[in-house]
């Protein structure tokens, strides 16, 4: 008997929008990494694509695995299949996903690094970049100097998209989101001493610029890779072939 797949294409895209590229810290839906979504009477099939065939296998697996988990969280979605296209490890990754083998089960002895460690590393980088964005926006708006940074609390900065992003990243690291908490803290939630702020703030800026630069570069590679066959603005392809009784 076919599984009733009652979710909508919007439900699928909303779930995939919660999956981010670990290095670029952006949703895979905004990066153009979701190639196609097909809903059928059994469930959903999603195809992913990346800027190059040699993108880091652990990053590729992480995004594909996270997509699988996000989609399985949709109520009554049915069978979920996620496929990675055009990557040198596509066959291995797709087989591992289909078998629910996990990262180490998929890559065996090649899986040297823990995915948890990888996630934590990039969560910390994303947090540092978010701190710099929020503080820089505050300084530009108020005209205050860098000497003010060590006193800033979450209550002081304007509630905007930068603050929302910062709070999300603090939550991911288990850091306080109390309005009275200091803004410039390390990955353990400890305030940065005033004398260390100039150097650490410059470093935070370099991390933010690096992330944004990599994002721009990857978008360019993706557009170039598929420019002859798949226009960048045509993604993702959505196909719904469910029979009427299952809608």
Question: For the segment 41-57, what is each residue's pLDDT rounded down to a tens digit?
Answer: 999 999 999 999 999 99
pLDDT digits 0-9 by tens, 213-246:
999 999 999 999 998 777 655 679 999 988 754 5
Residue 231: its pLDDT value, please? 62
What pLDDT is attached to residue 3?
46
- Which pLDDT score, from 0 to 100, does residue 118 have? 86
For range 140-151, the mean pLDDT: 94
- Judge whether residue 155 has pLDDT over 60: yes
196: CB partners within 8 A, 6+ apart: none
Q: What is the pLDDT of residues 159-217, one digit of tens each?
A: 888 999 999 999 999 999 999 999 999 989 999 999 999 999 999 999 999 999 999 99
CB 72 within 8 A of CB 64: no
Instruction: Check whether 60 has a pLDDT greater than 80.
Output: yes
Which carries the bigger pLDDT value, residue 68 or residue 114?
68
Residues 74 and 11 sit within 8 Å (Cβ to Cβ): yes
- Give me the pLDDT at residue 200, please: 96
Summary mean pLDDT of the chain? 91
pLDDT range class, residue 59, cuts 50, 70, 90:
very high
Whether 75 and 56 have beta carbons less than 8 Å apart is answered as no
Contact of 51 with 218, CB cutoff 8 Å: yes
CA distance 199 to 163: 22
In the chain, % of residues over pLDDT 90: 79
Domains of the chain: 9-113+223-246 (3.30.300.130), 115-192 (no CATH)
């Amino acid at each position: 008997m076919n599984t009733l797949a009652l979710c909508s294409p919007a439900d699928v895209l909303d779930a995939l929008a919660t999956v981010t590229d670990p290095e670029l810290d952006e949703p895979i839906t905004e990066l153009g990494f979701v190639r196609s979504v097909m809903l059928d009477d059994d469930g959903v099939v999603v195809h992913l694509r990346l800027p190059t065939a040699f993108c880091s296998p652990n990053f590729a697996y992480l995004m594909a695995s996270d997509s699988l988990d996000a989609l399985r969280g949709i109520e009554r979605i049915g069978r979920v299949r996620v496929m990675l296209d055009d990557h040198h490890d596509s066959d291995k990754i797709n087989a591992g996903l289909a078998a629910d083998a996990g990262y180490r089960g998929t890559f065996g002895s090649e899986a040297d690094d823990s995915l948890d460690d990888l996630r934590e590393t990039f969560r910390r980088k994303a947090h540092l970049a978010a701190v710099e964005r929020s503080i820089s926006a505050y300084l530009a708006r108020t005209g205050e100097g860098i000497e003010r940074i060590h006193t800033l609390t979450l209550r002081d900065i304007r509630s905007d998209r930068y603050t929302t992003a910062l709070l999300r990243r603090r939550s991911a690291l288990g850091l306080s989101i109390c309005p009275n908490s200091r803004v410039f803290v390390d990955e353990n939630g400890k305030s940065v001493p005033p004398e260390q702020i100039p150097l650490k703030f410059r470093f935070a800026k370099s991390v933010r610029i690096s992330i944004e630069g990599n994002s721009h570069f990857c978008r360019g590679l993706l557009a170039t890779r598929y420019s002859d066959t798949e226009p960048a603005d045509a993604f993702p392809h959505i196909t719904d072939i469910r029979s009427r009784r299952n809608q």
